[in-house]
Amino acid sequence: MILVTGGAGFIGSNFVLDWLAQTDEPVLNLDKLTYAGNLENLASVQGDARHVFVQGDIGDSALLDSLLAQHQPRAVLNFAAESHVDRSIHGPEDFIQTNVVGTLRLLQSVRAYWQVRDEARRAQFRFLHVSTDEVYGSLSATDAAFTESNKLEPNSPYSASKAASDHLVRAWLHTYGLPVLTTNCSNNYGPLHFPEKLIPLMIVNALAGKPLPIYGDGLQVRDWLYVKDHCSAIRRVLQAGRVGEIYNVGGWNEKPNIEIVNTVCALLDELRPRADGGSYRSQISYVQDRPGHDRRYAIDASKIERELGWRPAETFESGIRKTVQWYLDNQAWVTHVQSGAYREWVQTNYAQRQ
């Protein structure tokens, strides 16, 4: 069995679904079910004996100790995190509590569990920490893409909290010998993405006839990674990654935000035309940029290809079409996640930027 934390969130739930589609090995899924954790993401494995779901917090040491002792996983994969930069600007303490304190407590419980395994099980055990390219800071237009040797220079409360968790994972390897692996991924997109992030927000707002808010000039550049490609990379790192190593996972798709939005609009024009015959592009609205907005992220994913033979299967063109189609086909899911709390957050974040 493996233990997945944060397995009801966007990336975590995609990973759980892909894992169970690829293997019969059971998953113990621990998720706090905050606003972005959604059991509907896991509806297709409801009743599957290979999937054991527990609602709980990675900061709850007693719960962690109990689950580890009861289920004895061969690996722990940590997806649990507060992950939205804008939310971290409005309320950084939640990010410190989950991403730093939560990771610390998870590491402590896992270390205690790992230390009392027999020698063979200790040798086989892995702790895989899922992190982000945002810990590396911002690049200029001419800078080389981030490699695993880049120093950490986080610029937002979110990325600072993730950088802190990365440091903790490294320290538990070097101080205690815990066999850890770390992945730093670029911007994910795809099915089950909570509609506060750029791509799902644009799809949802476009279909609702609302403005499509673009921060600043819209020329901030990100590397885009289809979520199922990210899942396959994590499986490969867990299978064959070298203990203590960091693996950058990217999609080789650097694109400015405004190009992403125009692509989404063009796909919606094709797949779900507006009743008035106009283009969804007419709903684009430039708004005040967020504080400290990093200009460019870019991932050099050559190490994971060279050492582990992994490359993304999707191009951006194929992945974004699948993503838009998924949202068109799953309007009930979208409606259910857009609760009162979600609407209040959108009002809080965007009203002041108009």
Catalytic residue among 31, 57, 86, 133: 133
Q: Is 202 part of any domain?
A: no
Residues 181, 59, 82, 2: what is their CA dihedral angle, to the nearest 10 degrees?
40
pLDDT digits (tens, 9 = 90+) for 58-100: 999 999 999 999 999 999 999 999 877 778 788 899 999 999 9
Catalytic residue (one of 113, 136, 158, 247): 158
305: in domain: yes
171 within domain boundaries: yes
Active site residue 158: yes
Q: Is the pLDDT of residue 346 over 90?
A: no
Domain containing 140 — which CATH number? 3.40.50.720
* Residue 146 belongs to some domain of the structure: yes
Q: Is 351 a domain residue?
A: no
Check if the beta carbon of residue 58 is closer than 8 Å to that of residue 106: yes
Is 47 contained in some domain? yes
Give the pLDDT of residue 344. Answer: 60
Q: Look up the pTM and report it.
A: 0.93
Q: What is the dihedral of CA 49, 55, 58, 62, to 10 degrees?
A: -90
Rounded Cα distance, 129 and 146, in Å: 18
pLDDT at 51 over 90: yes
Q: Do 85 and 159 contact (CB within 8 A), yes or no? A: yes
- pLDDT value for 345: 44
**pLDDT (tens digit, 9 = 90+) per residue, 175-212?**
999 999 999 999 999 999 988 889 999 999 999 999 99
pLDDT-based confidence at residue 245 (cuts at 50, 70, 90): very high
Give pLDDT, residue 96.
94
Of 60-74, 305-319, 330-344, which gets the smallest average pLDDT?
A: 330-344
Q: Is residue 31 annotated as a catalytic residue, yes or no?
A: no
Tokens of 306: 């060279």
Count of domains forming the chain: 1
- Whether the per-residue pLDDT at 354 is higher than 80: the answer is no
* Residue 250 and residue 185 in contact, taking contact as beta carbons nearer than 8 Å: yes
pLDDT digits (tens, 9 = 90+) for 121-156: 999 999 999 999 999 999 999 999 999 999 999 999
Residue 340 pLDDT class (50, 70, 90 cuts): low
Domain span at 28 = 2-190+225-253+295-314
Average pLDDT across the chain, whole number: 94
- Answer yes or no: is 248 within a domain: yes
Is it the case that residue 351 has pLDDT exceeding 80? no
Residue 352's pLDDT is 57
Among the listed residues 82, 134, 196, 229, the single catalytic one is: 134
Specify the pLDDT at position 348.
66
CB 34 within 8 A of CB 5: no
- Domain assignment present for 336: no
Told to judge if 196 belongs to the known catalytic residues of this protein, a careful annotator would answer no
